[in-house]
Structure 1
Amino acid sequence: MTAALGAFATRDGHAAAVSARGIKQSFRGREILRDVDLVAEPGSFHGLIGPSGAGKTALLKVLYGARRAQAGEVSLLGRAPGGRDRALLARVGVQATASSFFSHATVWEHLSTVAALLGASQARAHQFLDQMGLGRLRDWRVELLPVGARRMLALASAMVHHPEVLFLDEPMADLDRSERADLLDALDEARGEGTTVICAARLLGELGTLCDCVSVLDDGRVVAVGPASSFVADSNRSLTPPLGRAAMAARSRGRVTALDPMPAVLGNKEVLA
């Protein structure tokens, strides 16, 4: 069972927005999270990257309280996630799944209702309707939306109340170029307002331009962690941390661009300078 954890201190001595220590989780007899540690500083954009099945989604669910780990400790804004802590829920945004939609409502009815439930103003809902490119679809029924628009509505619903911590899982999937640009603008604005973002993705892509810190997961373990600038894209568009291994040639430092396919970061967890 996951225990509450006094938030880890960050390097500057402040309490972490999200922290986890020794997280373990199994599913149908298979260990999917193995002694995972994570610390996200307030206002940072923390990328969780790795191949499919690495444990990214499972870790997100433990961090925001949708799933209890079988061992380990978690702190979300200084509290234990999960349960019926409405005060904590109002401070957190989670990218919705299809089952979370008011499917028979219109786009505006859905977003305005979510805003009201989370204590956000109708003006804020109007702002996000336009900011996420959904204004022209405001009278469409949610169940009839194209897949990209449904994802944008899920993201708008997670962000409309200006959460202190935002959890995203493959947010760029199914979005066209215009939708990706709208999302990047919204995330950049949220980051500027002090929102902490935890984003899981196999392909970090354009999100790398916002990312401060990256944790690489492979087979349920964190195998590398460090500032985004420590990760570089090689000629195959693979995200590779410069760990000094012969298979990972040294390259100039730069922003994260993509992770396809995920190279074997191999062996023990590395902390990058």
Structure 2
Amino acid sequence: MGNIISMKNVRKDFKESKALRNVTFNVKEGEVFGFLGPSGAGKTTTIKLLTSQLIPTSGEVKVFGKEVYVNKKDIFKNIGVLSDTSGVYDRLSVRDNLTLYADIYGVATSNVEEILNKVGMLEDINKEAKKLSKGMKQRLMIARALLHKPKLLFLDEPTSSLDPGTTLEIHRLLKNLNEEGTTIFLTTHNMEEADKLCDRVAFLNDGEIVEIGTPKDLKLKYTTENIKVILKDENKEIMLKNDSESALRIKSWMENGQLMGIHSMEPSLEKIFLNLTGREL
């Protein structure tokens, strides 16, 4: 698959502040790509560059193989955006909120019911937006971003401040969208969310990418050689080195019926980020 997003040596300055420094990465068509980092790392700035809301100080920004600032109209037809500034019109119904944007996008109003069905909100089509829960409003905003059936969806902290149950529903929706062919660019500081959803992730810290790869590869790269063994004796946990001597001890515990579990010491994405940057999320 080709690259749907390409950033090369991108820098973005705001007066004396350097928001991004020499950022380079690609996103392949069909991926869920996670752009991870704490607040203020430069995640939202990156989305604004990719959607032509900002112009880089230097470097190359391409979407669908075209320079963003030269081909705005062609690119905008094929992208959807859910940002931290997205909102809904509380006094309008769900249907009217989407019909308004259907007119703006120049797409058939028949898309409204189709998209609402996809996000599980068809039964709420006549409900006023102000009567929706926070999670349902988030679904409505995702529906609006999908109304013109974009090939690429930008999501800026899509589950921020949502409860765990609602977050799980949004995750299922995003997985379904991706399986249907939508490429997703996801910014988040929730490493568990990224681990669950993303094919690849990039760690952003102080405007620089400090690591990039699949969650699995990163965890294997930064794993320790230790093994955690859990024994039946009051759920006792023992740390062992991954060597032949430890193998004999484990064999003995197994033969005596003492072994309850064996775990590799694979780090979480959050722990990897902390080790790389010294910063918690």
The TM tier, using the shorter chain, reads 0.7 to 0.9
Question: 1:98 & 1:59 partners in 2: Cα distance?
Answer: 15
Matched, 1:63 2:50: yes
Match of 1:159 in 2: 146
2-side partners of 1:46 and 1:152: how far apart?
A: 20
Residues 94 and 129, structure 2, Cα contact 8 Å, conserved in 1: yes
Figure out how many residues of one structure are paired with residues of the other and give that number. 243
Tell me which amino acid in the other structure corresponds to 1:263.
L
Corresponding residue number in structure 2 for 1:128: 115
Letter matched to residue 191 of structure 1: N
Structure 1 SS opposite 2:162: coil
Q: Name the CA distance, whole Å, in 1 between partners of 2:167 and 2:27.
A: 24
With the length of structure 1 as denominator, give the TM-score of the two structures. Answer: 0.76
Alpha-carbon distance, 1:229 to partner: 1.4
* 1:170 aligns with one of 157, 166, 190: 157
- Of 192-201 and 174-183, more deviation after overlay is shown by 174-183
Tell me, in whole angstroms, the C-alpha distance in 1 between the residues paired with 2:217 and 2:106: 39
Q: Structure 1 residues 252, 127: closer, same or farther in 2, change over 3 A? A: farther
Q: As a proportion of its length, which structure holds more helix?
A: 2
Q: Which residue of 1 aligns with 2:216?
A: 229
CA apart distance, 1:263? 0.7
1:15 and 1:93 mapped to 2: Cα distance?
19
Question: CA, structure 1 residues 150+259, in 2 after alignment: closer, same or farther (shift >3 Å)?
Answer: farther
Deviation track 1:182-224 (CA, whole Å, cap 9, x = no partner) reads 3223222221222211100000434533311110001110000
CA, structure 1 residues 109+220, in 2 after alignment: closer, same or farther (shift >3 Å)? same
Give CA-to-partner distance per residue, 1:141-180, whole Å, 9 cap, x none.
Answer: 3355443332222111112322111111111113334433
Name the CA shift for 1:226/1:207 in 2 (closer, same or farther; >3 Å). closer
Amino acid at match of 1:124: N
**How far is the alpha carbon of 1:79 from its aligned partner?**
1.6
Counterpart selection for 2:200 from 182, 202, 213: 213
Deviation of the 1:17 alpha carbon: 0.3
Choose 34-43 or 106-115, whichever is displaced more. Answer: 106-115
Q: 1:160 to 1:183 in 2, by over 3 A?
A: farther
Determine the structure 1 residue equivalent to 2:175.
Answer: 188
Shift of 1:265: 1.2
| Contact 1:133/1:182, CA 8 A, preserved across alignment | no
Q: Determine which structure has more spread, i.e. the larger CA radius of gyration.
A: 2
Q: Which residue of 1 aligns with 2:37?
A: 50
Please name the residue that 1:242 is paired with: 221
Aligned partners of 1:132 and 1:186 also within 8 Å: yes
Q: 1:107 to 1:25 in 2, by over 3 A?
A: same
Deviation of 1:16 after TM superposition, in Å, equals: 0.9
Pair 1:161–1:71, CA change in 2 (3 A):
same
Question: C-alpha separation between the residues in 2 aligned to 1:258 and 1:172?
Answer: 18
**Pairwise mapping of residues 17-32 of structure 1 onto structure 2 (< 5 A)?**
17-32=4-19
1:52 aligned partner, one-letter code: S
Tell me, which stretches of 5 or more residues in structure 2 are unaligned?
Answer: 226-240, 243-262
Greater strand content: 2
Asked if 2 retains the 8 angstrom alpha-carbon contact of 1:55 and 1:220, the reply is yes
CA RMSD, Structure 1 to Structure 2 (Å): 3.2
Aligned partner letter, 1:81: V
Match of 2:100 in 1: 113
Q: 1:10: which partner in 2? A: none
Q: Could you state the TM-score of these two structures normalised by the residue count of structure 2?
A: 0.74
